[in-house]
Amino acid sequence: MRMGLKRRPVTTFALIATILLTLSASVASVTAAPVQDFGFFTAGQFPLYVTDNTGDVVHQVDASGTASTYATGFTTPIFLAFDASGNLCVSNSGDNVVYLVPPGGGSKSTYATGFNGPSGLAFDGSGNLYVADFTDDVVYLVPPGGGSKSTYATGFTTAQDLAFDASGNLYVADSSDDVVYLVPPGGGSKSTYATGFNENLDLAFDASGNLYVSDSADNVVYLVPPGGGAASTFVALTDARYLAFTPLPFVPEPSTFCMLAFCGIAMAGYSRLRRRHK
């Protein structure tokens, strides 16, 4: 009788082990996915951060439109990007350096050097920083924590800004071609995603997959729907330039929540069996 009872918890334990292995694989796949403009990077939440390359500061703007100073000490700061820890990287065209500002603001530190015209910035889900260089007309990759850059994509006329979508596609604003290009995951040949701009400078995705494009010639922020297509005016400004949304906390995919719930039920069943057969 005892021999039969012992087999049942073993079978349950094997089932739980299988669930845990499956869950681990699911979580790993979510963590590794490039999520530059979704999840925990730059997905549609105030405050908005704006560079002022006349005052050489970065402003923080709340949902009501009230601005305050977030970081100072730059010489013509232009583009912005958050990493997964909430650090804000700033490309500084005055000395061709990318600086890092810690969460909440404070003293900046050097993150990456060796550029000729650093402009747009974007992080992927692995912590790599991508830097558009409008002088070299390429997109560079800087490994997590800084270090030596490598070339990721070429063939642009004036590469200005960068943004990732949830699938790992990289979008490049080319202000000379007046086009937003798409570069597939891992690099490769670019394709046209959106046109019709006059001087497109900066890009930002919201959580729904809409792409926002600032145009400093039209002084407008345009909205391009998911998948590309015709751009529509989102807001008209005096001098529309650089955009960045506040990062949102990372939220696992629905499938991960289902696996967590299933694992919890299995563990509860196993615990009940052990108590019953003691």
Task: Give the Cα-Cα-Cα angle 249, 251, 255 (nearest 5 degrees).
Answer: 175
Query: 10 Å Cβ neighbour count for 47?
Result: 17
Mind listing the pLDDT tens digit for each residue in 16-62?
A: 333 333 333 333 333 333 323 322 234 456 788 888 878 899 998 88
What integer pLDDT is reported at residue 39 of this predicted model?
Answer: 26
What CATH number did the domain enclosing 197 receive? 2.120.10.30
**Does one domain contain both 19 and 58?**
no
**Range with the lowest mean pLDDT among 110-114, 146-150, 183-187?**
146-150
Q: Can you tell me whether residue 12 is helix, strand or coil?
A: helix
Choose between 263 and 52: higher pLDDT. 52
Which residues does 217 contact at the CB level (< 8 Å), separation at least 6? 197, 198, 199
Whole-number Å distance between alpha carbons of 214 and 263: 46
What pLDDT is recorded for position 277?
A: 56
The answer to whether the bond into 34 is cis (omega within 30° of 0) is no
Task: Please tell me the predicted confidence (pLDDT) of residue 271.
Answer: 54
Question: Diameter of the chain by CA atoms?
Answer: 84
Would residue 172 count as lying in a domain?
A: yes
Give how many domains the chain has, as a whole number.
Answer: 2
Quick one: pLDDT band at residue 151, thresholds 50, 70, 90?
very high
- Token look-up 């094997």 returns 14
Round to whole Å and give the CA distance between 147 and 144: 8
- Residues in CB range of 25: below 8 A, 6 or more apart: none
> Nearest-CA neighbor of 55 among 37, 67, 69?
69
| pLDDT exceeds cutoff 50 at 95 | yes
Boundary (domain end) residue, out of 178, 210, 242 = 210
7 and 62, same domain (yes or no):
no
CB under 8 A, 24+ apart: contacts of 221-225: 222/197, 224/180, 224/193, 224/194
User: 62 with 189, same domain?
Assistant: yes
Residues 63 and 138 in one domain: yes
For residue 267, the enclosing domain spans 2-33+253-276
Q: Is residue 245 part of a domain?
A: no
Across 66-89, average pLDDT: 91
Cβ neighbours for 42, distance < 8 A, ≥ 6 positions apart: 36, 81, 82, 163, 204, 205, 244, 245, 246, 247
Q: What is the pLDDT of residue 42?
A: 42
For residues 204 and 219, give the distance between their C-alpha atoms in angstroms, rounded to a whole number: 16
pLDDT band at 147 (very low <50, low <70, confident <90, very high): confident
Q: Looking at residue 154, what is its pLDDT?
A: 94
Q: List the 211-215 sheet strands across, edge first.
A: 200-205, 211-215, 220-224, 232-236
Residues 13 and 107 in one domain: no
**151, 269: one domain:** no
**Do 185 and 263 belong to one domain?**
no
Number of CB atoms found within 10 A of residue 137's CB: 17
> What confidence score (pLDDT) does residue 206 get?
84
Q: Provide the pLDDT for residue 158.
A: 93
- pLDDT tens column, 195-248: 989 887 788 888 888 999 988 888 888 999 999 978 888 888 777 776 766 655
Q: For residue 79, is it within any domain?
A: yes
What φ, ψ does residue 100 adopt, rounded to 5°?
-120, 130
Q: Is the same domain home to 21 and 99? A: no
Q: 82 with 193, same domain? A: yes
Mean pLDDT of 114-123: 93
Amino acid at 94: G
12 has pLDDT over 80: no
Tokens 């009940």 locate to 272
In a domain, 227, yes or no: no
Are the CB atoms for 224 and 206 separated by under 8 Å?
no
Asked whether the beta carbons of 73 and 224 are under 8 A apart, the reply is no
Tell me the CA distances in angstroms from 132 to 53, 81, 93, one per residue in order.
18, 12, 12
